[in-house]
Structure 1
Amino acid sequence: MKLEIVPMTTDDIPTIVEIERSCHVQPWTEGFFLEELERSHSHAYVARRKNSVHQHRVVGYICFWLVVDEVQIFNLAVDIAHRRCGIGRALLHHALLIGYRNQARVAVLEVRRSNDAARQLYASMGFQRVGERKDYYGGLREPAVLMELEMNRDWCIRWGELGHQIAPG
């Protein structure tokens, strides 16, 4: 499967909302995604699958903010049919490289404690657990695990310019 990662557009939103609803218990609305596209500090990218059958189909996305020296990951999802193909890793790597190239030196995120697959992905890319927020996920009364990645010289050597080795393709 060939993959391209490109900026999200309003035309992508209907497919993104479908993926969002299938992936998250408390999904973002179309309005949330539209707001992200309007914010100056927000960055949103989609992964498009390129082949003869599904030409340029959106199969995943990431939304993050760049705030001073920090990348704040807010939403990352991959279509269920395309999981475990490296798409989430490629999207996360893309976001981190954009942050690093814009002077970010730390990345932070919150993830459901029950989301083992996501926590394993983040840990495999160097994120460390730094805390927990009790009852973070509203009516579900589930805590959020806080994770952080120090984007230092060692990180850059390992991941910074080796992106082609982790991106599917």
Structure 2
Amino acid sequence: MSVLELPEAARRVLGAARCSIREDEDGYWISEGEGEIRYLVRRTPDHLRLVRYDRGDDPLWQMSADDAVDLVRFLMVELGPVARQYRGLIPVVFPTFDPGVSAGFDRRIDDEGIVVRQGDRIRGVFPAEDPFGVSRSTDFTWYADVDPDRISELILTTSVAPAPPG
């Protein structure tokens, strides 16, 4: 059984970003371009975890999520600028216009990291030690409820940087 089933919308974005995808005993490996940047999606006892590997650097935890679709959304937006650039579009995907979290979301730092909640549900956990953790977790709240097909459409077909969906 696969660690993560990638919806067709995610496969379109990853394909446009020229990513290769392979599965092994560690999980799903997603390699961008020549493999200089690789992502590993693996299941831990508690949730799915996305780790980024840059050639020659230590692995960097990017995000954890209980729901695979939340992790897929994050990965699509993470690779969206690369996909747009290969298509000759402005590489910005979802610029942050508001420094706060989207309505209905809460973001707190605890022992796990930066925890994004929507009501009682944890939607994602981001590394507190990452200098971009706060901004990534904030941005995530603005697209966490957007259908992956809509995210794919915004990334692959919009000729200008779209406003945040929501």
Instruction: State the TM-score, normalized to the length of structure 2.
Output: 0.31
Q: Which has the higher strand share?
A: 1
Q: Which has the higher helix share?
A: 1
Instruction: State the TM-score, normalized to the length of structure 1.
Output: 0.30
